């Protein structure tokens, strides 16, 4: 007779028939009821095992007594259950693609590919499907927490201003510079003749750089700096973290620019600014104002007909008909047609590459030829170019993010206590 699995008051039973079951086998039972959810004993055991493995593998890990660890695991599972139930009610979902991306990221952080990571997990005695499920739960809880905290944490403009006025605020929002460095050292107790010889070597290196030599290769070949084998790369640093002689210079440099030789007590230095980021670097944004007409092929308009219509309309504009009039009457871009084709001010990266290429190479107030993108046939006109200074706004966002991160953990802990206190929880022995 077919075997059946029955769930009776939280106990799963295996039976040879519904009418009689002389031998009952306990497979699992409810450990905790949490609002409308249940936590099974198997979940508690699996999580306890995973945590024991994690603690045992850590250098200074000390396992608590079993009853203490079990109580902590149950409390953690209760709080997780409350969050998962809330996330489900809000429709928060994590797709398989998002889960796989997260697992690949975790694998890479451990220096493994996904297959190796799975093997390592299973060697530790942890079920890979259970690990996937736990990562999915954590992603879901993280999204819920981010949304809740956005509503709970309020940072005023005055708080931001006060923070920016502090020394810490200045350091946090300072730009960062990635600088490469070549050092030609002076010999110990060098005399004037020896120092002059080092200066000549530094000048020769600079000449090679000016002639197109690769800075990284020359750093490996000639530099005595401790970062020579990394091509002289000092990594990302704020001005206060750079050597004093470089700090002011780096802030004045353009990306790719080389300065030096710069003299110091240890020798002569050449520096190159590889990258920079922050309010000054990213706050000044080049913007372009453009308008266009789009003609799309359709079921009633072949590709050739669409191209011919776009060329005909472009000719009318070149011959003097108003651009905005043509756009309002004929453009197939509903977002801009009513505005005469105007797309407003935009920064780099907003439009598809072919559109941006035409926009960036076109002279101001000139009508482009017809060209094609994946959207259809266009012609456009650039009506303005400017550099907008967003550096102050950029700093304010940095300050707000810093303050929000400072408050996040404390506010999250308070919220978790609130939902735990309000929940119905029954722990079964």
Q: Answer whether 260's CB lies under 8 Å from 316's CB.
A: no
Residue 160, helix vs strand vs coil: helix
pLDDT in tens, 161-175: 999 999 888 888 888
Rounded to whole angstroms, how far apart are CA atoms 128 and 125? 9
Q: Answer whether 356's CB lies under 8 Å from 337's CB.
A: no
Give the DSSP letter string of 189-202: T--HHHHHHHHHHH
- Angle, helix 114-123 to helix 96-109, in steps of 10 degrees: 80
pLDDT reported for residue 202: 93
pLDDT reported for residue 36: 92
Tally the residues of the chain. Answer: 429
**By percentage, how much of the chain surpasses pLDDT 70?**
93
pLDDT reported for residue 388: 73
What strands, in cross-sheet order, belong to the sheet with 37-40? 37-40, 30-34, 425-427
Beta strands 371-373 and 342-347 are unpaired
pLDDT in tens, 24-39: 677 789 989 999 999 9
Q: Mean pLDDT score of the chain, rounded to an integer? A: 87
Rounded to whole angstroms, how far apart are CA atoms 356 and 334? 20
pLDDT reported for residue 23: 63
Q: Once rounded to an integer, what is the mean pLDDT over residues 313-338? A: 94
CA 61 and chain centroid, separation: 32
Q: Nearest Cα to 47, choosing from 120, 135, 134?
A: 134
Structure-block tokens of residue 76: 């953690």
User: Across the strands, what pairs with 347?
Assistant: 287
Task: Check whether 420 has a pLDDT greater than 80.
Answer: yes
Task: Check whether 6 has a pLDDT greater than 50.
Answer: no
Poorest-pLDDT segment among 54-68, 93-107, 266-280, 407-421:
54-68
Q: Once rounded to an integer, what is the mean pLDDT over residues 328-337? A: 93
Taking the whole predicted model, whether its pTM rises above 0.85 is answered as no
Q: Once rounded to an integer, what is the mean pLDDT over residues 43-69? A: 83
Q: Once rounded to an integer, what is the mean pLDDT over residues 141-145? A: 93
Task: Check whether 15 has a pLDDT greater than 60.
Answer: no
pLDDT in tens, 235-259: 998 888 888 888 888 888 889 999 9
pLDDT reported for residue 22: 56
In this structure, how many other beta carbons lie within 10 angstroms of the beta carbon of residue 71? 13
Q: Nearest Cα to 217, choosing from 230, 207, 226, 234?
A: 230
Q: Once rounded to an integer, what is the mean pLDDT over residues 185-209? A: 91
Rounded to whole angstroms, how far apart are CA atoms 282 and 249? 19
Structure-block tokens of residue 335: 């977002």
Distance (Å) of CA 287 to CA 34, 62, 171, 347: 54, 58, 29, 5
Rounded to whole angstroms, how far apart are CA atoms 166 and 156? 16
Q: What angle do CA 305, 311, 317 make, to 5 degrees?
A: 140
Domains of the chain: 1-65 (no CATH), 176-277 (3.10.50.40), 283-389 (3.10.50.40)
């Amino acid at each position: 007779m077919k075997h059946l699995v029955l769930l009776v008051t939280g106990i799963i039973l295996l039976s040879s028939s519904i009418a009689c079951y002389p031998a009952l086998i306990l497979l699992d039972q409810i450990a905790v009821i949490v609002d409308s959810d249940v936590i099974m004993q198997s979940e508690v055991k699996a999580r306890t095992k995973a945590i024991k493995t994690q603690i045992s593998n850590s250098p200074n890990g000390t396992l608590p007594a079993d009853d203490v660890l079990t109580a902590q695991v149950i409390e953690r599972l209760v709080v997780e259950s409350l969050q998962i139930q809330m996330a489900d009610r809000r429709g928060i979902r994590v797709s398989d693609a998002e889960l796989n991306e997260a697992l690949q990221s975790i694998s890479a952080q451990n220096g493994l590919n996904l297959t190796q990571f799975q093997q390592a997990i299973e060697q530790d005695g942890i079920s890979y499907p259970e690990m996937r499920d736990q990562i999915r739960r954590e992603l879901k809880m993280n999204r819920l927490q981010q949304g809740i905290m956005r509503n709970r944490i309020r940072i005023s403009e005055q708080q931001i201003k006060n923070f920016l006025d502090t020394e810490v605020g200045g350091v946090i929002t300072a730009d960062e510079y990635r600088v490469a460095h070549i050092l030609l050292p002076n010999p110990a107790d060098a005399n004037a003749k020896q120092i002059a010889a080092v200066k000549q070597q530094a000048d020769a290196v600079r000449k090679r750089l000016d002639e197109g030599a690769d800075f990284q290769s020359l750093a490996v070949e000639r530099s005595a700096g401790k970062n020579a084998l990394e091509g002289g790369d000092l990594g990302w640093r704020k001005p206060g973290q750079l050597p004093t002689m470089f700090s002011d210079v780096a802030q004045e440099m353009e990306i790719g620019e080389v300065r030096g030789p710069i003299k110091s007590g240890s020798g002569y230095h050449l520096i190159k600014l590889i990258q920079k980021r922050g309010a000054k670097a990213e706050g000044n944004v080049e913007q372009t104002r453009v308008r266009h007409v789009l003609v799309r092929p359709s079921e009633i308009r072949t590709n050739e007909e669409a191209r011919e219509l776009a060329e005909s309309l472009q000719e009318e504009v070149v011959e003097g008909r108003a651009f905005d009039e043509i756009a309002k009457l004929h453009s197939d871009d509903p977002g801009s047609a009513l505005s005469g084709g105007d797309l407003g001010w935009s920064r780099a990266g907003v439009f598809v590459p072919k559109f941006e290429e035409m926009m960036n190479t076109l002279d101001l107030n000139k009508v482009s030829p017809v060209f094609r993108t994946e959207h259809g046939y266009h012609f456009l006109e650039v009506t303005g170019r400017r550099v907008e200074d967003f550096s102050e706004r950029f700093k304010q966002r940095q300050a707000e993010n810093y303050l929000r991160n400072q408050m996040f953990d404390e506010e999250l802990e308070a919220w978790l206590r609130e939902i735990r206190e309000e929940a119905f929880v029954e722990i079964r022995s």
